[in-house]
Amino acid sequence: MSREALGQFELMVLLAVLRTGDDAYGVPIAEELHEATGRDVLLGSVYAALDRLEAKKLLTSTMGDPTPERGGRAKRYFKITPQGLREIRAARRALVKLWDGLPALQKGPA
Amino acid sequence: MKAACWVMERFGVAPALIGDILEGAARHSIVWSSAQVLGATLRTVSNDLRQHPVLAMRAIVAGWALYFLSARVQPHYSLLNPGMNHLWLAARVLITFRAEVAFGMVTADAMIGFAVSRCHRPYGMAAAFSFVMTLLCLYSWSALDEIPRSLHISPYNPFAPFVVPDVLFLSAVVFVFVPLAVMAGAALGAGRPRSRA
């Protein structure tokens, strides 16, 4: 893992981008997060996390075409970089390591 | 949503984010849309202020300089103070007089907002917002001292119970109308900032 560790929300956003695939822009990413957490997320917060992840070079973004239902504004599509994938795997390994062998977390609902 | 888009554009919210909010608003409630607009706007302002602290400081200094200048130009400023020297005025005259003074204050503040925002483009709205925050801090601080003093019955202030409407009026002016006026003036001064993302 890099020296600057991923925050929980950043990790969730990265995973949501990965799950959304080629259609990863603000709305589907926020919906993916809403389905996972059961809570509404602010698009502004999602964009802030996406901007941070792009600055860390874990994501790249490209602009799409403007559409009328968006008031003529283009979509901004996000894609995970190989470095982003490495970070997700590293975060998973670290979490699983910490998870393993804890009796309190072995039973009961997730 | 047109008004919300107009406001977000003035604050420099990224066009892609505005588009996402518009797209989501078609499928969600007005509460969801309002929360998204507020969240996006505040997030943009806080980002701008974090990235440009010197600009924010300059806006605060410029705003206060203009504020004191406008206070010098408006000699009736202090007459809005409850329980002070306007108690002798007849009720009808007083209402008209207060409305005029309030209008003068609000107009002057809108002009301050316009000037601060104009001088700090493309971060005009964030700059005006930082000035408004300091203005509200000062008003809150002085209200802590002024309002209890105005309501306290003493030989110097025998009409204290009648001062309550004055206090409410003054609070509405300084905590609602003045900040709104500064930000409205700033929105006009900011224009439509160039796309930043």
* pLDDT tens digit sequence for A22-41: 889 999 999 999 999 998 89
Interface ipTM: 0.85
Contact B36 A51 (CB under 8 A): no
Predicted pLDDT of residue B49: 92
Burial of B39 (0-12, 13-18, 19+ CB in 10 A): buried
Contact B17 A47 (CB under 8 A): yes
> Which residue from A51, A59, A49 is spatially nearest to A86, judged by alpha carbons?
A59
Q: Does any CB of chain B come closer than 8 Å to the CB of residue A50?
A: no
Note the maximum CA span of chain A. 54
Q: Do A27 and B20 touch (CB under 8 A)?
A: yes
Q: Which of A101-110, B125-134, B149-158, B162-171 has the highest mean pLDDT?
A: B125-134
pLDDT of residue B163: 64
Supply the angle between the helices B91-119 and B53-73 in degrees, to the nearest 10.
150
Assign A61 to helix, strand or coil: strand
**Binding-face residues of A in 80-99 toward B, CB within 8 A:** none
A73-80 vs A59-67, strand pairing mode: antiparallel
pLDDT at site B194: 55
- Say which residues have a Cβ less than 8 Å from residue A75's Cβ, sequence separation at least 6: A25, A26, A63, A64, A65, A67, B16, B19, B20
Asked if the C-beta of A51 comes within 8 angstroms of chain B's C-beta atoms, the answer is yes
A-B contacts at Cβ under 8 angstroms: 70
Q: For residues A91 and A37, what is the distance between their CA atoms, to the nearest angstrom? A: 19
Q: What is the mean pLDDT of residues B126-133?
A: 93
pLDDT grade, residue B85 (50/70/90)?
very low
The answer to whether residues B189 and B116 touch, using CB atoms and an 8 Å cutoff, is yes
Which tokens is B154 given? 């003493």
Q: What is the mean pLDDT of chain B?
A: 81
Q: Which of A3-7, B53-57, B86-90 has the highest mean pLDDT?
A: B53-57
Cβ contact, residue pair B15, A75, below 8 Å: no
Token representation of residue A104: 């309190």
**Residue A77 near chain B (CB below 8 Å):** no
Please check the confidence at residue B83 and state whether its pLDDT lies above 50: no
SS3 B193: coil
Contact B36 A63 (CB under 8 A): no
A52-71 confidence digits (pLDDT tens): 999 999 999 999 888 888 88
Q: Is residue A17 over pLDDT 60?
A: yes
- Model pLDDT for residues B40-50, shown as the tens digit of each residue: 999 999 999 99
